[in-house]
């Protein structure tokens, strides 16, 4: 075949894919430490995601399972330097819901499968386990160095062996570090510790030019902040250094209910205003759920009420059928040395809240079990065939000043007493988000995450169908638009340049484009986000 020895000379001719593939395969076999697969089963797996809504298969040439950081460098460099170019998408655990981790281009692309979770036997040297460093010697304390495709559950397990744990979480741990850091990574700890992207000391990143750069607050600072929340646009994260704290042993988990939205949000806002106080004077985690549908009071996103034999009824809290209730979920972490004081401290904080008095539910469990709570629900749903269904999710950041309008218009309006999955709602403090990062949040000091975590079912009930639920999402976005509620999508999904510009706002968009030109000038990375068409694409946009 006469394949080139220099990676940069690998050139693909998209008019003759077979030839391209041959060259890649030969090239790959001799060149990559890992493996390059064209097995249809691998291509299929790499082109679908948790959203499950993609109608057409992705145009894929191959899937690379890297055996080393160098493999990532070599492939991106090949794509960058080849005459025609081809798109490359890092795929973490494929838990996006709109095809973000697969290439979107007129030219066939390659997916780099960063997580080895499903392929432990295939992976080789790159998969160094998370390396925990206890008290790194500078002001940053303990940290863990992890491969970008590592799942958070593995990061937790490795850290816990040393009595340590990351500070900021997502509710679900079977997500990759690179995947959540490309978005933000939020859960009930974000009000206090900020999102996961605020708890990273350093990254190794392979840019769209195939350069491997270390970046942090001290070096390559613009790249560091660009990649955090950067939707995979500026580079592939191959290593992240994540801050650790001493791991608590146990969690006191409390849930209280509200029928009044104002009381509910007032209490949530009060609780997040306690950020930075000593542990004894605040909760460690603050989240909430909206329950518009009685059946969902035992929702899968929170394994809290696990007894189906003892269902909890709306009516027992004075809420009539058709009403909406709100559930505040809070936790206190503790260990042996602080256990004696937990009851009293939790009681003192609860006294300041205005929930329905008879609605206090308390449970107590090990820290690991609390953090891994959604996985239990996943296993249950899987056993009923309800996990691998389409998920038309909508995640919004809603400014605090308009959350009551959102309640009236959406929870009590558009949803019409019927939902098809849990609805999360919790506030966060903007000052815990670094404005230099790429992620965008509303222009208010406090904003809410509202997550409508829908599952579409083929049950014959039209209101559960993918089409109906996707349409409902559009109605919600239109409602916000018409009501002037300036929401930002979290895990954003937009299809046109105009929409993306609107998402970022003028100044942030300019910065985002500038970073793209600098770090991925041929626009080969993460094309599935549909922000920039690759340079070689017939749809190529003119924004760069």
Burial of 29 per CB tally in 10 Å (0-12, 13-18, 19+): exposed
Residue 309 or 384: which CB sits closer to ligand FAD?
384
Q: Closer CB to ligand FAD, residue 345 or residue 520?
A: 520
Smallest distance, ligand FAD to C-beta of residue 150, A: 9
**Which stretch of DSSP H or E encloses residue 223?**
helix 221-227
CB-facing half-sphere around the CA of 79: CA atoms within 13 A: 35
Span of 159-167, 174-182, 289-297, 304-312 interacting with ligand FAD by CB under 6 A: 174-182
Whether 287 is catalytic is yes
Please give the Cα distance from 116 to 130 (Å, whole number).
Answer: 13
288 binds ligand FAD (CB under 6 A): no
- Identify the active-site residue in 20, 42, 49, 95: 95
Token pair recorded at residue 533: 């068409």
Give the per-residue contact string, 102-141, with ligand FAD (x = CB under 6 A; - = no). Answer: ------------x---------------------------
Reply yes or no on whether 95 is catalytic. yes
Asked whether position 90 contacts ligand FAD by CB under 6 A, the answer is yes
Residues 225-254 within binding reach of ligand FAD (CB under 6 A): 231-232, 236-237
Alpha-carbon span 245 to 388, nearest angstrom: 35
Least separation in angstroms between residue 456's CB and ligand FAD is 14
Residues in contact with ligand FAD, total (CB under 6 A)? 37
Cβ-contact 203, 186 below 8 angstroms: no
Does the footprint of ligand FAD cover residue 185 (CB under 6 A)?
yes
Q: Which of residues 148 and 166 has its CB atom nearest to ligand FAD in the complex?
A: 148
Q: Is 502 helix (H, G, I), strand (E, B) or coil?
A: helix
Query: Rounded to 5 degrees, what are φ and ψ at 537?
Result: -85, 145
Q: Which entry of 287, 329, 407, 520 is annotated as an active-site residue?
A: 287
What is the smallest separation between the CB atom of 217 and ligand FAD, expressed in angstroms?
19
By CB under 6 A, tell whether 187 contacts ligand FAD. Answer: yes
Q: Does 50 bind ligand FAD (CB under 6 A)?
A: yes
Considering 150, 154, 171, 267, which one is annotated as catalytic? 171
The reply on whether position 420 binds ligand FAD by CB under 6 A is: no
Read out DSSP for 27-76? HHHHH-SSEEE--HHHHHHHH--TT----S---EEEEEE-SSHHHHHHHH
Residue with smaller CB distance to ligand FAD, 88 or 271 = 88
Question: Rule CB under 6 A: which of 146-165 touch ligand FAD?
Answer: 148-149
Q: Where does residue 455 rank: exposed (0-12), middle (13-18), buried (19+ CB within 10 A)?
A: buried
For residues 253 and 465, is the Cβ–Cβ distance under 8 A?
no
Of 183 and 268, which CB lies nearer to ligand FAD in the complex structure?
Answer: 183
Strands (E), 405-504: 423-429, 446-452, 488-489
Cα separation of 492 and 292, whole Å?
25
In the complex, which residues of this chain contact ligand FAD (CB under 6 A)?
49-50, 89-96, 100-101, 114, 148-149, 170-172, 175-176, 178-180, 182-187, 231-232, 236-237, 491, 526, 528-529
Give the active site residues.
95, 171, 287
């Amino acid at each position: 075949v006469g394949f080139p020895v220099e990676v940069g000379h690998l050139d693909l001719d998209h008019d003759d894919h077979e030839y391209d593939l041959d060259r890649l395969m030969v090239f790959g076999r001799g060149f990559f430490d890992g493996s390059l697969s064209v097995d249809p089963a691998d291509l299929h797996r790499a082109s679908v995601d948790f959203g499950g809504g993609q109608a057409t298969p992705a145009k894929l040439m191959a899937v690379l399972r890297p055996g080393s950081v160098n493999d990532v460098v070599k492939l991106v460099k090949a794509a960058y330097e080849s005459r025609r170019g081809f798109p490359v998408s890092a795929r973490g655990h494929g838990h996006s819901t709109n095809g973000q981790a697969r290439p979107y281009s007129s030219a066939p692309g390659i997916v780099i499968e960063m997580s080895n979770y499903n392929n432990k036997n295939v992976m080789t040297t790159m998969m160094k386990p998370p390396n925990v460093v206890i008290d790194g010697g500078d002001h940053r304390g303990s940290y863990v160095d992890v491969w970008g495709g590592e799942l958070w559950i593995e990061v937790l397990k490795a850290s816990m062996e040393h009595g340590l744990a990351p500070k900021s979480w997502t509710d679900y741990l079977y997500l990759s570090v690179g995947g959540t850091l490309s978005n933000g990574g939020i859960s009930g700890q974000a009000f206090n510790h900020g999102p996961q992207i605020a708890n990273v000391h350093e990254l190794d990143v392979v840019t769209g030019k195939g350069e491997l750069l270390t970046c942090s607050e001290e070096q390559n600072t613009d790249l560091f902040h660009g990649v955090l929340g950067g939707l995979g646009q500026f580079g592939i994260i191959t290593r992240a250094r994540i801050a650790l704290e001493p791991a608590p042993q146990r969690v006191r988990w409390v849930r209280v209910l509200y029928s009044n939205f104002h009381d509910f949000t007032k209490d949530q806002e009060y609780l997040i205003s306690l950020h930075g106080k000593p542990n004894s004077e605040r909760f460690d985690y603050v989240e909430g759920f909206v329950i518009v549908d009685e059946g969902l009071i035992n929702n899968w996103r929170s394994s809290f009420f696990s007894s189906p034999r003892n269902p909890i009824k709306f009516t027992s809290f004075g809420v009539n059928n058709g009403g909406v209730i709100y559930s505040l979920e809070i936790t206190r972490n503790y260990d042996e040395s602080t256990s004696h004081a937990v009851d009293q401290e939790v009681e003192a904080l609860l006294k300041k809240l205005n929930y329905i008095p008879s609605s206090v539910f308390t449970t107590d469990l090990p820290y690991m079990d609390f953090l891994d709570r959604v996985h239990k629900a996943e296993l249950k749903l899987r056993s009923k065939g309800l996990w691998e269904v389409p998920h038309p999710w909508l995640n919004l950041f809603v400014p605090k000043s308009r959350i009551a309008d959102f309640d009236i218009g959406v929870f009590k309006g558009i949803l019409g007493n019927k939902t098809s999955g849990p609805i999360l709602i919790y506030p966060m403090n903007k000052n815990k988000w670094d404005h230099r990062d790429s992620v965008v949040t509303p222009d208010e000091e406090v904003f809410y995450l509202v997550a409508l975590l829908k599952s579409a079912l083929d049950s014959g009930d039209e209101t559960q169908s993918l089409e109906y639920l996707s349409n409902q999402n559009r109605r919600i976005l239109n409602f916000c638009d018409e009501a002037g509620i300036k929401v930002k999508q979290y895990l954003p999904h937009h299809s046109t340049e105009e929409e993306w510009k609107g998402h970022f706002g003028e100044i942030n968009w300019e910065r985002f484009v500038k970073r793209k030109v600098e770090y991925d000038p041929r626009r080969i990375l993460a094309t599935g986000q549909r922000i920039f068409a690759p340079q070689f694409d017939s749809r190529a946009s003119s924004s760069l």
